[in-house]
Amino acid sequence: MFSFGIELAQYYLPLGRATDIDDWMMNTMGSFIGGILFVIARYIYTLLKINKKIK
């Protein structure tokens, strides 16, 4: 939604920048990949934390 808001602002406000669907798609894909990496990192951290408590 944040990426969409920026692109929408670029379209309607005279900021001197052009809006492009490719920017929106790449920003969305980057956010999605970042979210997946965050979930994986949090899962690994939880596993390491649990293993430390057991030993």
- For residue 50, pLDDT beyond 60: yes
Interval 5-35: pLDDT, tens:
777 777 777 766 666 778 778 888 888 999 9
55, pLDDT greater than 70:
no
For residues 36-50, give the mean pLDDT: 92
Whole-model pTM over 0.85: no
pLDDT band at 39 (very low <50, low <70, confident <90, very high): very high
Q: Which residue ranges make up each domain of the chain?
A: 2-54
- Closest listed residue to residue 7, CA positions, set 31, 30, 26, 23: 23
